[in-house]
Amino acid sequence: MDNTSGLVFGKEKMAELFNHDSVKVEILPGGAKRQRLIDDTRVSGSECIFDRLVLDSGTKLEINVSETEIIWAQLLKGSAALADGKQHSKLDQQHVFFLPPKFSGTLSTTTGATCIFLKVCNALKFDPDLAATSSNAKLFDLGSEPILESKHDERTRVYVATKNLFNTTALAGELVIFPAGSMSANHHHIGAEHFQFILSGEGTVFLNETPYPLRSGDLVYKYDGERHYCHNHGDEEFTFVEFFVPGKWETIWADPERSCTWSPTGKSLQGGTASRKITAHTSDGTVYDDV
């Protein structure tokens, strides 16, 4: 795969598509290793900063969220502890946590950990009510969250950032799982930054109907109005986590009859009973109360 940032269709620069292996590693105070995958240098005008962080054993990361920012994060490997002077939370693989404006604390590990951090730099612009929220962190175990299944294909999804989970519409996110052979429908979005980080497997993304291979560690940033869909042509699951900033947008389907409709399975990501219930709904950017 060509790791050059930015794909060109005709004379117009469109998606950003690259692997984290191509991004330089910075050593932060305390020893954490950071790869900055999205900022306004790579994507002009972006409201997002998206980092991949590796913390070796004994590493501590100082976290200070300004009064206008929020941070969403997911632990991908290892274990860690999140502390803010009042709470001390142990995090295992697949834990997701949300840090509101004015949060101050540390993320530390004795065993090593890999995580992804998404910062929305001016979240108050999208959700002014955040100014009145508590500065306490919120976290949940992704493995106990409900799985939803697609009406039109074999895909499943688990929500990782919604209004119901974190009480904000400044961002939205979901984990999407493509079984072998599955394919999503062609569509585009309007009104939000949209990008995907590939967690596992291999697949193909079609950007304005042109195919590009994807593998674990790839990031795909799609600009407003860019048509896209994915296909898992391999023998193993293909998974990614995707985000929208802000968490309200419009989706236009190439075939309206193929618009994503999601139904609850009653099961969790770990195979047990889901921790909460979500009703059937379409994937059009609407914020559902039970999602």
3-state secondary structure 223-258: CCCCCEEEECCCCCCEEEEEEEECCCCEEEECCHHH
CB < 8 Å & 24+ apart, contacts of 73-76: 73/97, 73/98, 73/99, 73/115, 73/116, 73/117, 73/118, 74/115, 74/116, 74/142, 74/160, 74/241, 75/113, 75/114, 75/115, 76/114, 76/115, 76/116, 76/199
> How far apart, in whole angstroms, are the C-alpha atoms of residue 81 and residue 87?
10
The predicted model gives 123-149 an average pLDDT of 95
Q: How many residues does the chain have?
A: 291
Contact 36, 51 (CB under 8 A): yes
Structural domain includes residue 290: no
Phi, psi of 80 (to 5 degrees): -155, 175
Q: Within this chain, do residues 164 and 246 fall inside the same structural domain, yes or no?
A: yes
Average pLDDT of the segment spanning 226-243: 96
10 pLDDT more than 70: no
Q: How many percent of the chain have pLDDT more than 70?
A: 95
* pLDDT reported for residue 3: 43
**What's the domain range around 262?**
144-282
Residue 15's identity, in one-letter code, is A
- Return d(Cα 30, Cα 32) in angstroms, integer: 6
Q: How many domains does the chain have?
A: 2
**Where residue 122 sits, what CATH number does that domain have?**
2.60.120.10
User: Which of 133, 156, 188 corresponds to the end of one domain?
Assistant: 133
Co-location of 154 and 263 in the same domain: yes
The pLDDT tens digits for 173-202 are 999 999 999 999 999 999 999 999 999 999
Instruction: Decide if 288 is inside a domain.
Output: no
Q: Are residues 129 and 43 in the same domain?
A: yes
Asked if residue 251 and residue 153 are part of one domain, the reply reads yes
Q: How far, in whole angstroms, is CA 138 from its chain's centroid? A: 16
114, part of any domain: yes
Answer whether 97's CB lies under 8 Å from 139's CB: yes
Q: Do 118 and 177 belong together in one domain?
A: no
On whether both 209 and 257 belong to a single domain, the answer is yes
What was the pLDDT predicted at 12?
53
Q: What is the mean pLDDT of residues 258-281?
A: 91
List the beta bridge partners of residue 64.
104
Say if residue 197 is in the same domain as residue 124: no
Same domain, 149 and 266: yes
Pick the more confident residue, 115 or 7. 115
Share of the chain above pLDDT 90, in %: 86
Segment (H or E) for 164:
helix 163-166
Whether 193 and 254 map to the same domain: the answer is yes
Determine the pLDDT at residue 284. Answer: 76
- Of the residues 99, 133, 167, the one at which a domain ends: 133
pLDDT of residue 52: 98
- Asked whether the beta carbons of 222 and 252 are under 8 A apart, the reply is no
- For the stretch 137-179, pLDDT in tens is 999 999 999 999 999 999 999 999 999 999 999 999 999 999 9
